[in-house]
A and B are shown apart, each in its own frame.
Chain A
Amino acid sequence: MNTVTTVLQALLGITILVLGVAGLHATLTRTAKAGTDSGGNDSAADASAANPRTNSPVSSRADSPANIAPLFLLTVTGLMVGSLLVAVVGLADNPLAYDLLFGAVAVALATFGRLRPATFLARIRDHLLREASRWKAAAWKTSAWKAGPRRAVLLTSVPILILAVAVGLSWWSDDTTMNAPVTALGATRTHTGLEVTVTRAEGDNGDLLLEVINAEGRQWRLPLEPRKKKVDVPVGSEATPAPTTVRLLVNGKIIRSITIQ
């Protein structure tokens, strides 16, 4: 996938997840209300003997099930079970299958939860406007900034930045350590000949020479550019299986030797 496709896929995926979670939240809330309205709420029924007032829908709304634990739980298990369904039909390698399935589920949840885009967008707009006004009121030049969102964001960003530095540092050091090039020689036979792979470590700065000797004693000598860390050397007319020796020489000295059948 190219960068554009990757970004589009990520945006689509995030949209599906956000819509799905919002729809699930709305659905849970609605189901809870409906359950209580119809007297189907288990707890309310159980509790009514002890306290009839708790059977009111208002109490139930206040104690909405749309809180974090079930929301997370249903999201995780839903993704898992949905992914299983996709895999059962053999499409677990296909992003489109996931987009379609989870997109449909997200839309269904949003519909069932009566999540109206207009209301949703209006709420977001209101929220943004409110935030903007708070930020404006707590501008740097005013004395109110210390109690405003700017300071809060600044303070919150400190641990995040420190963690980001820790992760970035570790990623860089782990990646560069693990993938440090080593001087290696490998060969495989292809339809057209031999494919020889040479990698060289940072410290190997000498003149590298690749020597290929086939079963009949024919010899090729291929100098390798010093700065190139990885070289694929297709040696033609070696398609017929026969022992062929490949050697890697540094300054005339054999440092690696392999044989390919």
Chain B
Amino acid sequence: MGAVMSIEEIVGSLDSGMTIGIGGWGSRRKPMALVRAICRSPLTGLTVVSYGGPDVGLLCAAGKVRRVIAPFVTLDSIALEPHFRAARQSGAVEFTEYDEGMFMFGLLAGAHRLPFLPTRAGLGSDVMRVVPGLRTVRSPYEDGEELVAVPALTTDAALVHLDLADTRGNGRYLGPDPYMDDLFVKAAGRAYLSCERMVEPGELDGPPQTLLVSRMHVTGVVETPAGGHFTDRGPGHERDEAFQRHYAASAADPKAWAAFADRFLSGDEAAYQEAVRRWHEQDRDRDHDREEAR
């Protein structure tokens, strides 16, 4: 069963050099409050396993990452993640690059305590060249087909963000896509769940099939309102596109990034949310001034 924890307690329970799985997909339902807290922490040398988005970018920018394991890193509405690009192009991080389906099979293997799962995905591509030690396996049956043996993507800890959770660590998603969050949780030594809203046990109303994460896999749960910001957090909490544009533009320039980090990332989660609120307020004022000027 999960214990209700604070953001700082969760991040404080992690160690440098760990392999951390992060749920969500691209710039969608990422546990950003926990990611921001890792950026503020003394942790280093992490291996990050992710369908990558700004989680990977922020952690790279903060110098927390030794290796990224991912099929892509993207902001969705902005194709390329500037911090990840910079980290790759400067050689600051190592990269294990899988096909999206291979990656899912790796999580499935990890979630089910299998050493690997076979798939056709990857055959003939340069994934076989650039991932050292990646092996193929031959079907023991008549067909004798050779397939990629995707090794289990097991992690020391997983971080996922859901719309709703109870104080025991049961979690529900409200959007149209569960992503792979349940697999990340099951493939991890321990899992931490952040949620937009926390309720008492028995109050997770809704269709049972949207109960994605079970308390049996959760070590800690924390309520982080807007904790998925600026990524898409499901119905009524769509991606903050204006802020994401500001993030990406800032990330592409060292000076602008220093200003961004100072303004948004130098305090705790409450300070971040307040800084974002003020930024939007000023943005509205700017728009208003522009209207007036016409």
A, B bound: no
